[in-house]
Amino acid sequence: MSKRIGIGLLGLGTVGTGVARILANPESRHPLVNDLDLIHVAVRDLQRERNLDIDKSILTINPEDVVDNPSVDIVVEVLGGIEPAKTLILRSIAAGKSVVTANKALIARHGQEIQSAASAAGVYVLIEAAVGGGIPIIEPIKQSLGANRIQRITGIINGTTNYILSRMAREGVAFSDVLQEAQNLGFAEADPSADVDGIDAADKISILSGLAFGGVIDREAITTKGISDLNTRDVEYANQLGYCVKLLAVSEKIQNKGSNTNDLSLGIRVQPTLVPFDHPLAGVNGVNNAILIEGDPIGEVMFYGPGAGAGPTASAVMADILNIAGISQVGDKSGSLDPLLAANTWRNCKLVDRNQIVQRNYIRLTADDTPGVIGAIGTYFGNSGVSIQSIVQFDSTQDNAEIVVITHKVREGQMQEALLAIKSLKEIKGLAAYLGCL
Ligand code: HSE
C-alpha cells in the first residue's frame, strides 16, 4: 500500500489556492495525487473569505507551525519575497523536509546557499514554478536536455511586459496607458516595477542560466533594461522594417577562458529587442512566455505557454510535488539524491563585461535634416568597425529628421565608441532609442 505524504503550504494567495484546489480534487489526475494530503496551511488572515472549500482547522497564521509540523513531508513556499521565505525554507531543510518553491527573486539571489543546504540535508528544493509559469522548463533543462552542450537561451519570460508590448504593437497605445489597463485588469502588480524594469526577467534568466550552464550566476552582473521608456514610435518603425519588439532575456556562451573547459564566459542581458516577424518568438503574444534553447546536438527547441496565473503556476508546483512524492513512494534505496532532480553545479561561470557582448542593434537618432548627415553617421560607424545593415530616414519634419539604423552583429564596446562620436556631431540632436535586435 502506498504511504500518505503530508503537504504543508506557506501562502494561500493566487498560486497557493490553485495548488489547494488540485490537492482537493485528485480525480482523473495522476494516481499519485491521491497519496497527497494537505495538512497545514499558513495564511496572513484567518478571517478572510476564500473561494475555496478548505477545512479551516488546518489554517494558521504562524508559518513556523507548518514547517515544524512532523506530519508535513513537503513544504510548498508560495509567499514570494526574500524574507521570511528564505528563513522558512532553510528551517524546512534543516528539519529534513523537501521544499517546492515558486520564488524566483529568492532563488536568483540565494539559490546557491539554499541548494547547498538541501544537498547537505539530503532533501530536494524544486523550482519548476519559478520560471515560465505553467511551462515545463526547469526539469527539461535539468533532465531532458542533459546530454546537450547548451549554446544559448533566448526567452520571453515576463508575461506582464509581453502583454503590454503586444497591445502597444497592435493598437499603437502608449506604454503608460496599457500599464494602467493591465493593472485595472489585475495582470500587472500594483507595484509593477519588477516586471517593467526587467528585474523579474533578469531573475528568471539567471536561474535558467545557472541550470543550463552548470554554474553559479552573479545575478547583479546581468545587464538589465526594461520597457518603461520604450516609445510607441520605435514599435511602429520596427513594424515597418519587419520586426516586433519583445522584452528578451538572452544568455549565451561567449568562450571558454584558456584551456580549462570548466571555466565558462557568459553574456547575459535583458532588454527590449527587435525580433524578425518570421522568428518563432515573434508569434508569442499576450501574457504568454516562450523559451528557445539552442544546443548540440538538439539544435533548437522552444517551450511555449502561459507564463503566469493561478492554474498554470499551480500545475508547475504540482509537478515538483509529484516528483518528490514519486521518489518517496519507491523509497530512497541508495540514501543519496537523484543527481538529475537535485540542482548541481560543475562549472565556474563568469559574466563578461557588457562591452564584450556581441549582438545586432537598433538605434534612432534625431538629427537636422541637412545634406551629409547620413554620410557622417555611416563614416563614424565605419571608423569604429560597426557594419550597418540598414539605415532609414523616417518622418522628417521641417526641423528634424529621424534616422533609424540597424547594425550587423557588433561588440557593444565598438557600438558605444561610435555613438559617442556620432552624438558629438552638431547635426545630431540626440540618441532617442537604443534597442537590441535578433
Ligand atoms: N509577474 C510575472 C510576469 C509572473 O508578469 O511574468 C510571475 O512570474
pLDDT in tens, 350-360: 999 999 999 99
pLDDT of 181 above 90: no
Residue from 195, 208, 248 to probe ligand 1 pocket by mutation (most atoms less than 8 Å from CB)? 195
Cα–Cα distances (Å) from 371 to 256, 387, 393, 423, in that order, read 47, 22, 12, 17
What distance in angstroms lies between residue 112's CA and the mean position of ligand 1's atoms? 22
pLDDT in tens, 116-135: 999 999 999 999 999 999 99
Instruction: Round to whole Å and give the CA distance between 211 and 209.
Output: 5
CB count within 10 Å of CB 175 equals: 20
Burial 393-421 (b: 16+ CB within 10 A, else e): eeeeeeebbbbbbbbeebbbbbbebbbeb
What amino acid positions are annotated as catalytic residues? Answer: 204
Residue from 156, 160, 205 to probe ligand 1 pocket by mutation (most atoms less than 8 Å from CB)? 160
Question: What is the per-residue pLDDT for 258?
Answer: 56
CB of 159 within 6 A of ligand 1: the answer is yes
Atom of ligand 1 nearest to the CA of 158: 6
Question: What is the per-residue pLDDT for 400?
Answer: 85
pLDDT of 187 above 80: no
pLDDT of 428 above 80: yes
Which residue puts its alpha carbon closest to atom 4 of ligand 1?
A: 308
Question: What is the per-residue pLDDT for 320?
Answer: 98
- Residue for cell digits 557622417? 376
Who wins on pLDDT, 116 or 396? 116
Question: What is the per-residue pLDDT for 293?
Answer: 98
CB of 200 within 6 A of ligand 1: the answer is yes
Question: What is the per-residue pLDDT for 332?
Answer: 66
Instruction: Round to whole Å and give the CA distance between 225 and 156.
Output: 14
pLDDT of 23 above 60: yes
Please state the rounded mean pLDDT for residues 280-300: 97
What distance in angstroms lies between residue 377's CA and the mean position of ligand 1's atoms? 40
Q: What is the spatial order of strands in the sheet that 5-10 belongs to?
A: 59-60, 36-42, 5-10, 74-77, 98-101, 125-126
Question: What is the per-residue pLDDT for 90?
Answer: 98
**Whole-number percent of the chain with pLDDT over 90:** 87
Who wins on pLDDT, 178 or 410? 410
pLDDT in tens, 243-267: 999 999 999 999 765 556 789 999 9
Instruction: Round to whole Å and give the CA distance between 415 and 382.
Output: 10
Collapse the DSSP code of 361 into the 3-class scheme (helix H, G, I; strand E, B; otherwise coil) and give the result.
strand
What distance in angstroms lies between residue 265's CA and the mean position of ligand 1's atoms? 28
Who wins on pLDDT, 324 or 310? 324
Question: What is the per-residue pLDDT for 185?
Answer: 73
Collapse the DSSP code of 322 into the 3-class scheme (helix H, G, I; strand E, B; otherwise coil) and give the result.
helix
pLDDT in tens, 40-57: 999 999 999 888 999 999
pLDDT in tens, 365-378: 999 988 999 999 99
DSSP state of 130: G
What distance in angstroms lies between residue 201's CA and the mean position of ligand 1's atoms? 8
User: What are the cell numbers at 198?
Assistant: 526587467
Mean pLDDT in the chain?
Answer: 94
- How many Å separate Cα 315 from the centre of its chain? 18
Question: What is the per-residue pLDDT for 406?
Answer: 98
User: What are the cell numbers at 388?
Assistant: 550597418
Please state the rounded mean pLDDT for residues 307-328: 95
What distance in angstroms lies between residue 159's CA and the mean position of ligand 1's atoms? 5
Atom of ligand 1 nearest to the CA of 157: 6
Ranges 105-114, 281-290, 394-403: which has the least confidence: 394-403
What distance in angstroms lies between residue 344's CA and the mean position of ligand 1's atoms? 26
Q: What is the DSSP string of 220-286?
A: GGSEE--STT--HHHHHHHHHTTEEEEEEEEEEEEEESTT-TTEEEEEEEEEEEEEETTSGGGG--T
Atom of ligand 1 nearest to the CA of 104: 8
CB of 162 within 6 A of ligand 1: the answer is no
Atom of ligand 1 nearest to the CA of 160: 5
CB of 160 within 6 A of ligand 1: the answer is yes
Is the link from the previous residue into 371 a cis peptide, with omega within 30 of 0? no
- Residue for cell digits 514610435? 233
Spell out the domains of the chain, with CATH numbers in brackets.
5-136+311-346 (3.40.50.720), 138-306 (3.30.360.10), 355-437 (3.30.70.260)
Instruction: Round to whole Å and give the CA distance between 125 and 136.
Output: 16
Question: What is the per-residue pLDDT for 260?
Answer: 66
- How many Å separate Cα 307 from the centre of its chain? 9
Burial class (CB in 10 A: 0-12, 13-18, 19+), 379: middle
Quote the pTM value: 0.95
Question: What is the per-residue pLDDT for 157?
Answer: 98
Which residue puts its alpha carbon closest to atom 7 of ligand 1?
A: 308
